[in-house]
Amino acid sequence: MVREIRENRSKFFKVKCPDCENEQTVFEKASTVVNCIVCGKEIAIPTGGKAKFKAEIIADLT
């Protein structure tokens, strides 16, 4: 019997808002619109799978 090792396939990203340069953590597969907590600008939009980021990705937090 072959066992398949399942790894965590989802990631969190540290992103920087293009307007106010606030850094916050966002889930890779966000299911709702994510706004900057400081200025309110949209930084991630859900697409049905992985979110589309409108902010600069600073780090991959796996």
Domains of the chain, first to last: 12-61 (2.20.25.100)
Quickly list DSSP for the chain. ---PPPPP---EEEEE-TTT--EEEEETT-SS-EE-TTT--EEEE--SSSPEE-SEEEEEE-
**Mind listing the pLDDT tens digit for each residue in 2-39?**
566 667 778 999 999 999 999 999 999 999 999 999 99
Note the pLDDT of residue 57.
95
Report, as an integer, the average pLDDT of 46-58. Answer: 94
Asked whether the predicted pLDDT for residue 45 surpasses 90, the reply is yes
